[in-house]
Amino acid sequence: METNAGTRKVVLITGAAKRVGATIARALHAGGYDLALHYRRSRSEMDSLIGELEAQRADSTLAVSAELADIEHLPRIVDACIARYGRLDGLVNNASAFYPTPIGTVTVQQWNELFASNAQAPFFLAQAVAQHLKKTHGGIVSIADIYAQHPLARHPVYSMAKAALVAMTRSLARELAPEVRVNAIAPGAILWPESGKTYTDQAELIARTPLARTGTPEDVAAAVLFLLRDAKFTTGQILNVDGGRDLVI
């Protein structure tokens, strides 16, 4: 049943149950958006986030569980959002797989998994939401990575997938204009990964960052809110949120 009544703007966020995704959800919710929150396996974290946000504003969230690698199921995520709210104003492609794939060891399964979350699902979700975003003059924001332009050692497939996401952002900005704005954010060191790179060189990495610190999930969330809500004349752009690291990497 539609509860939004077409009054509040609605954003779909993938990988929203924890870490940066949950912080983005909190920031957009505080900014007045109702949310469709995608998760895969993190049900307990999602339940906790939903409880937190619903306590602040009732009937403002929808949890949707899905495997993003299943392309044929992606439209139903969008359908669930429209069935609940009757509109869609934004898509945030946040979900991402990340782990090393040294040359000589890469498998087809690794290739498919890394491209599925980092490039394939963002594209097919964008395709599914396009008609709805055109009606609301909405926007798409994808979480890319500085490694799309400066590949990370031992992570060629991940770096390539993020580069594809950047190319998608620029291409869709042309394809969906003038109704829909499409941008991306390229974070630097924000949170140390739960898996993949161990970052034993944390001190060295921070020393190479002009602002001399790691970023925070809130830094990324603020950039997402800016691109969706405030950047009305910005499309096809990749916003580095990296403390200036791109200048010296």
Over the stretch 91-144, which tens digit does the pLDDT of each residue have?
Answer: 999 999 999 999 999 999 999 999 999 999 999 999 999 999 999 999 999 999
Inside any domain, residue 140: yes
Residue 41 lies in a domain: yes
Provide the pLDDT for residue 170. Answer: 98
Residue 1 lies in a domain: no
CATH number of the domain within which 227 lies: 3.40.50.720
Does residue 117 lie in a domain region? yes
The reported pLDDT for the residue numbered 231 is: 98
In the set 33, 99, 158, 199, the catalytic residue is 158
Quick check: is 5 in a domain?
no
pLDDT score of 99: 96
The 10s digit of each residue's pLDDT in 12-31 is 999 999 999 999 999 999 99
Is residue 158 flagged as an active site residue? yes
How far apart, in whole angstroms, are the C-alpha atoms of residue 27 and residue 225?
Answer: 7
When divided into structural domains, the chain yields a total of: 1
Q: Please report which confidence band the pLDDT of residue 1 belongs to, taking 50, 70 and 90 as the band edges.
A: very low
Split at pLDDT 50, 70, 90, the class of 201 is low
Whether the predicted pLDDT of 185 surpasses 60 = yes
Residues 6+ away with beta carbon under 8 Å from 86: 2, 4, 5, 6
Measured between alpha carbons, how far apart are the two ends of the chain, in Å?
50
Does a structural domain hold residue 103? yes
- Domain span at 217: 10-247
pTM for the predicted model, two decimal places:
0.95
Element (H, E) at 85: helix 74-85
Nearest to 242 by CA among 129, 144, 142: 144
- Cα–Cα dist 62/208, whole Å: 41
Structure tokens at 105: 């060891």
The answer to whether residue 32 sits within a structural domain is yes
Please count the residues of the chain: 249
